[in-house]
Amino acid sequence: MAGTGQSAGTKLIVDNRRARHDYELLERVEAGIVLTGTEVKSLREGRVTIAHAYADIRDGEAWLVGASIEEYAQGSVGAHRPERDRKLLLHRREIDSLLGKVREKGLTLVPTRMYFKDGRVKVELAVGRGREKVDKRRVIAERDATRQMERALRRRR
């Protein structure tokens, strides 16, 4: 899978493009996630939304809040609540480090990707600083300018 940023044992479930737009992403960390069986089956079908999700640290534990995993169609009625908070699996030192960064002004833990890695579901969290509307416009303008310069250079070759 050249160019996708994935190693041989990973399969992307969902990518949070909105996070790259709304936040300046500073540091990334991989976390496991506690799920039920029907949630994993829904994830295999790609029925998940993490656009409005964030991670929260409560009582020394990390939680994924606001992620929506749709109910599995073939599962029993009420197998899992789609909007429930899900525990993230991180080492103590990672949680302490993230907690220190989140306490800084304006930093948030944002899920950027969810993927299968060797059969297990992983969530990539990023420490992000929220962008103002003006910053978002500037980033888009810079990206467009870079793209146009690359096109011009390609044409000249």
Task: Note whether residue 144 is domain-resident.
Answer: no
Residue 143 in domain: no
Assign 78 a pLDDT band (cuts: 50, 70, 90).
low
Give the highest mean pLDDT range of 18-27, 32-41, 89-98.
Answer: 89-98
Distance CA 151, CA 155 (A): 6
Res 135: pLDDT: 73
pLDDT at residue 77 in the model:
63
**Does residue 113 belong to any structural domain of this protein?**
yes
Tell me whether residue 49 is in a domain: yes
What does the pLDDT read at residue 144?
A: 87
C-alpha radius of gyration, the chain, whole number: 18
Q: State the average pLDDT over residues 70-84.
A: 74
- Dihedral angle, C-alpha 139, 97, 30, 136, nearest 10 °: -10
Question: Considering the domain boundaries, does residue 95 fall inside one?
Answer: yes
For residues 13 and 114, is the Cβ–Cβ distance under 8 A? Answer: yes
Residue 15 lies in a domain: yes
Confidence of residue 119 (pLDDT cuts 50, 70, 90): confident
Residue with the bigger pLDDT between 125 and 80: it is 125
Residue 35, domain member (yes or no): yes
The enclosing domain of 119 has a CATH number of: 2.40.280.10
Look at residue 83 and give its three-state secondary structure: coil
**pLDDT (0 to 100) of residue 6:** 56
- pLDDT score for 2: 46
Residue 83 has pLDDT above 60, yes or no: yes
66 in Cβ contact with 83 (< 8 Å): yes
For 27-48, what is each residue's pLDDT tens digit? 899 999 998 888 888 888 888 8
- Whether residue 74 is predicted with pLDDT greater than 80 in this model: the reply is no
Full domain range(s) for residue 126:
10-131
Token pair, residue 78, equals 């009420």
Domain count, the chain: 1
> Residue 118 falls within a domain, yes or no?
yes
- Would you say residue 3 has pLDDT above 70? no
